[in-house]
Amino acid sequence: MRTSTRIHGLAAAAVIAALAQAACQSTGGGISAHPHRLDRPEQVVIGADRWSGPEDCSAGASIRRTDDALVVTIAVRDDALVGSAGDPWEGDSVEIYLDLRPEAQRDGSYASGVFQMVIAPALAPEAKTTYSFHVGENAFHIPDVRGTVVLSALTDGGYQVTVSFPLEELARTHLPLGESLAFDIGVNDADDAGRESQLMLFGTADNWTSTRGFHSIAP
């Protein structure tokens, strides 16, 4: 039984990896292929005076549920790709915010069922995509959602990130995905050294400590 369970788990992981790979390749980094856009001045929540327009930094994002996973794809346009040796949000990177609590329990706080993920794309052939999970200011770093597949690829004029969370592990680590969830997407832009600006799809620069700006959808 044990062996069979493990094989089933590995097979599911392989399917999720294949889905993430397909999502990463299918859109080719095109922002316009995605329903959610980060390209308006009012979405610049950090460094408004340093953001020079969509060609400086903008993004398109989609979030969808498959049989086994919650898949988030973010295509970023950025005129200069710069990583960070320190905190990942100080370099070019994206942020995913998820609140899996039932709607009636979404009170703005970071509690069980809420987390943030920061993903820094691989900017050189030998580099690795790096990511970390965070939750609010009281418990800064939390365990990974096991089996999460994180891919990044350089595109014409930017990069693309695809993250596939296995539903089974989301439920084990946080809460089961219900009919709706609240989410947000952020993009950090460094063009020289350190973050110059941050765009947020729905919320504010306080997203890391308050869920009030998240947006509810039925994925």
Binding site residues, Ca ion, CB under 5 A: 56-57, 78-80, 92, 189, 191
User: What is the rounded CA–CA span in Å between residue 11 and residue 19?
Assistant: 12
Of 152, 150, 155, 134, nearest to 207 by C-alpha is 134
Angstrom CA distances, 15 to 22, 35, 147, 160, 174, stand at 10, 24, 11, 20, 22
Angstrom CA distances, 189 to 79, 148, 200, stand at 9, 24, 12
- The CB-of-113 to Ca ion minimum distance in angstroms stands at 32
- The CB-of-82 to Ca ion minimum distance in angstroms stands at 5
Looking at beta carbons only, is 184 or 191 nearer to Ca ion?
191
3-class state of residue 162 by DSSP: strand
- The CB-of-191 to Ca ion minimum distance in angstroms stands at 4
User: What is the rounded CA–CA span in Å between residue 16 and residue 11?
Assistant: 9
Q: Which amino acid is at 162?
A: T
Looking at beta carbons only, is 76 or 182 nearer to Ca ion?
76
Strand partners, 78: 57
- The CB-of-196 to Ca ion minimum distance in angstroms stands at 7
Looking at beta carbons only, is 9 or 54 nearer to Ca ion?
54
Looking at beta carbons only, is 91 or 166 nearer to Ca ion?
91
Looking at beta carbons only, is 78 or 99 nearer to Ca ion?
78
User: What is the rounded CA–CA span in Å between residue 196 and residue 82?
Assistant: 11
- The CB-of-192 to Ca ion minimum distance in angstroms stands at 9
